[in-house]
Amino acid sequence: MCGIVGYIGSKPVKEILIDGLRELEYRGYDSAGIAVLQNHQFSLFKAVGKLINLEEKAQSYESTGFSVGIGHTRWATHGKPTELNAHPHVGQNSYVVHNGIIENYQELKAMLTSKGVQFLSQTDTEVIVHLFEYHLKTSPTPFDAFTKTLEELEGAYAILLVNASADNTIFFAKHGSPMILGRNREGETLFGSSDAALIGKCNEVIYLEDGHYGFASSDTVALFDSKNVSIALNFTPLSENKLSAQKEGFRFFMEKEIYEQSTVLSDTLMGRLHDETVYFEELDSSLFTGISEIKLCACGTSYHAALTASYLFERHSRIKTSVEIASEFRYREPLLTPDTLFVVISQSGETADTLESLKMAKKAGLKTLVICNVDNSSMVRLADASILTRAGIEKGVASTKAFATQVAVLWMLSLFIAHERSTLTPSDLAHQIKILRSIPSIVKVDVTLHEQLRRLSKRYLHGHGFFFIGRDVFFPLALEGALKLKEISYLHAEGYPSGEMKHGPIALADPELFTIALLPQHKLYDKTKSNVEELSARDSTICSISPLDFDKADDHIRTHMHDDYMQEFFEMMVVLQLLSMEIAVRLGNDVDMPRNLAKSVTVE
Ligand code: AGP
């Protein structure tokens, strides 16, 4: 996803900007650029692809003395990843970098075009710089023009803008996308869309809030709130230790990654949801021509996302779907027919078994698609098409936000195919999209619930095992809950379809066998409840997770009432992640790097 840096000071500006952008590389990007303003003159460099390409373009540029600079890594949303679409975007005497989406850019562009403004790019961002210059003609100062510009923008943004007539100044604004202002003991001011870009360069920062805007120059910073009231600069110290700073105050990367699911899911959905359709810029609908079956293939958590998707694909897209564990698929001499779309799912894009399965499918002449979190990974390079999950780098070995974003992408894909095949009515599609839009707010961690789970965890540190049970998509979620617990607590846990317990596993039931029961209100509640009652009757200790009271539960984790089972799915996912983490913490385990596991399994 896009990244922003800014700098005001006298050090070599190019190196500072590119170094800051490098710290944001993990977010993923497909082009990059910097603009430097020195003595009323601009220097601009842009390149498609990795930062090395930008460095090559700017190789001969060197700065001495005071300058201001802005830089950007772009992850294409409006318009292809080309140099023209890369930021900074240029007006006549101004440059801008922007993260987010300007929702009313088409109206603004039409207005500016009617005034004779010429646009160079296909981006929404370019309207900002032209709108600013339009207002500059009638404003007493560049800052007035900047303020008027902000008043007309709708959508989400973090913006840095520079203008030649104010050659020691950066104008900034934050509304919905992150922006941090930092300074150091040498009197330099920096900006970053994440503090990763500022660590080691600043000793104190202000995490700007929505509606904050202002300007920073060589000797002053002015900050205003959304009511245009000047506000005090409340700097907070910035850790100089990269690793602990990257945890942003959380105890573990896993905890941080659970908490940031709301933000990354917004990124996953960004630009992909229209009123009655789902849009994937990276997909050509010809991928589905001649396809009558989908085969999903993955390992571990990604396999659980695939299994979840198989319910959604058959339900929404009415297309025959099967799911394969990659390590099994490779050696079972599968029958592959050309009417099958082969979809691999992988956080890393490097898992050996999944990669080899993808190669097999390609060799058999199947069309292939990868759902992946890492651009340019082996699978992304190999598959015919790819959809990125936009989860950002995941450091905890136990996958959390990667799973959440995989399920969201697969759910959107089921709707994309449903639209292609006309298997859902427009109103059903609109309903699904409405539910999807609600997911980022549903996964926001409720700190009271987190505290309840922390307290509850002390009752689940012993026993001879856990059953996680559920039906429909709550079965793969149960598998995922059990895997999370196993990975970091080293306790024995199994996921089961709840209706399957009576066919054998129920023999294990006794008070030392803990059942974690997923009881959603909107999917087979009564059926699942009967299965849990059967376990309760055999004295298993029951921990139910449900918005509805359950009188047979020993412990009850109450989730919110929702309109749809997928909303319940995502809320229960967070509960399971936090519960596993708190159990592992009490057992004194290394949550981020559990024993025997690797983040990316590149061997068979
Ligand atoms: C999940 O918590 C695990 N770390 C593991 O199961 C993982 O999902 C699996 O190894 C597949 O990895 P991938 O998504 O990178 O292909």
CA 160 – CA 170 distance, rounded (Å): 6
Planar angle of CA 565, 568, 570, nearest 5 degrees: 115
Q: In the predicted model, is pLDDT for residue 375 greater than 80?
A: no
Cβ 346 under 6 angstroms from ligand 1:
yes
Tell me: do 85 and 225 sit in the same domain.
yes
Domain membership of residue 76 (yes or no) is yes
CATH code, domain carrying 539: 3.40.50.10490
Question: Taking every pair of C-alpha atoms in the chain, what is the biggest distance, in angstroms?
Answer: 81
374 lines ligand 1 (CB under 6 A): no
Residue 200 shares a structural domain with residue 299: no
**49 φ/ψ sector (left φ>0, alpha ψ -120 to 50, else beta):** left
- Residue whose CB lies within 8 A of the most ligand 1 atoms, among 297, 348, 597, 604, for a mutation test: 348
- Nearest C-alpha to atom 7 of ligand 1 is from which residue? 300
| Å from CA of 438 to ligand 1 middle | 26
Q: Does residue 299 line the site of ligand 1, with CB under 6 A? A: yes
Q: Does a cis peptide bond (omega within 30 degrees of 0) precede residue 88?
A: yes
Residue with tokens 């500022």: 198
Query: In this prediction, what percent of the chain has a pLDDT beyond 90?
Result: 82
Q: What is the edge-to-edge ordering of all strands in the sheet holding 541-546?
A: 493-497, 465-470, 513-518, 541-546, 555-558
- CB-ligand 1 contact for 378 (6 Å cutoff): no
3-state secondary structure 481-508: HHHHHHHHHCCCEEEEEHHHHHHCHHHH
Instruction: Put the strands of the sheet holding 340-346 in their side by side order.
Output: 320-325, 293-298, 340-346, 367-372, 385-388
Of the residues 347, 371, 394, 480, which should be mutated to test ligand 1's pocket, given the most ligand atoms within 8 Å of the CB? Answer: 347
Q: Give 284 Cα–ligand 1 centroid separation in angstroms.
A: 28
Q: Is the pLDDT of residue 1 over 70?
A: no
With the C-alpha atoms ordered 54, 192, 404, 430, is the resulting torsion angle positive or negative? negative
| Residues 174 and 29 reside in one and the same domain | yes
Between helices 300-312 and 474-489, what is the axis angle to 10°?
170
pTM, entire model:
0.75
* Residue 30 confidence (pLDDT): 84
424-447 tens-digit pLDDT: 999 999 999 999 999 999 999 999
Are 340 and 400 within one domain? yes
3-state secondary structure (DSSP) of residue 11: coil
State the closest ligand 1 atom to the C-alpha of 400, by its place in the atom list counted from 1.
2
333 or 375, greater pLDDT? 333
State the pLDDT confidence band at 601, using cuts at 50, 70 and 90.
Answer: confident
pLDDT at res. 27:
63
CA 600–ligand 1 middle distance (angstroms): 7
Q: Catalytic residues, which ones? A: 2, 599
Long-range contacts, stretch 509-513, CB < 8 angstroms, 24+ apart: 509/535, 509/538, 509/539, 509/540, 510/538, 510/539, 510/540, 511/539, 511/540, 511/541, 512/462, 512/463, 512/464, 512/541, 513/463, 513/464, 513/465, 513/466, 513/467, 513/540, 513/541
* Cα 240 from Cα 203, distance rounded (Å): 7
pLDDT digits (tens, 9 = 90+) for 38-66: 988 999 999 998 899 999 999 999 888 99
CA of 200 to the centre of ligand 1 (A): 32
The last residue of one of the domains, among 411, 440, 469, is 440
For the CA of 301, the closest atom of ligand 1 is: 8
Task: Write the DSSP symbol of residue 571.
Answer: H
Q: Is the CB of 377 under 6 A from ligand 1?
A: no
In the listed set 402, 422, 440, which residue is the last one of a domain according to the structure? 440
Ligand 1 lined by 397 (C-beta under 6 Å)? yes
CB neighbours of residue 151 within 10 Å: 9
Do 370 and 463 share a domain, yes or no?
A: no
Distance CA 365, CA 368 (A): 9
Closest residue (by CA) to atom 10 of ligand 1?
300
- Residue of the nearest CA to atom 6 in ligand 1? 300
Cβ neighbours of 37 (radius 10 Å): 26
Give yes or no: residues 326 and 384 share one domain. Answer: yes
User: What count of residues does the chain have?
Assistant: 604
- Paired strand residues for 346: 372
Whether the predicted pLDDT of 150 surpasses 90: yes
Cβ of residue 302 lying under 6 Å from some atom of ligand 1: yes
Q: Are residues 489 and 570 in the same domain?
A: yes
Q: For residue 222, what are the domain limits?
A: 3-245
Q: Give the mean pLDDT of 462-472.
A: 94
Residues 312 and 431 grouped into a single domain: yes
Distance 76 CA to ligand 1 centre (A): 27
Q: How much of the chain, in percent, has pLDDT values that exceed 70?
A: 98
C-alpha span between 379 and 345 (Å, rounded): 9
Question: What gap in Å lies between CA 547 and CA 29, rounded to an integer?
Answer: 40
Instruction: Reply yes or no on whether the pLDDT at 331 is more than 90.
Output: yes
Say how many domains are in the chain: 3
Helix, strand, coil tally for the chain in percent (to 5): 40, 25, 40
Tens digit of each residue's pLDDT (9 = 90 or more) over 92-145: 999 999 988 898 999 999 999 999 999 999 999 999 999 999 999 999 999 999
Q: Please indicate, yes or no, whether residues 535 and 506 belong to a single structural domain of this protein.
A: yes
Cα(227) to ligand 1 centroid in Å equals 46
* Confidence at residue 243, expressed as pLDDT on a 0 to 100 scale: 65
Judging by DSSP bridges, how do beta strands 555-558 and 541-546 pair with one another? parallel
Instruction: Specify the DSSP element, H or E, that contains 20.
Output: helix 13-23
Tens of pLDDT, residues 250-281: 999 999 999 999 999 999 999 899 888 999 98
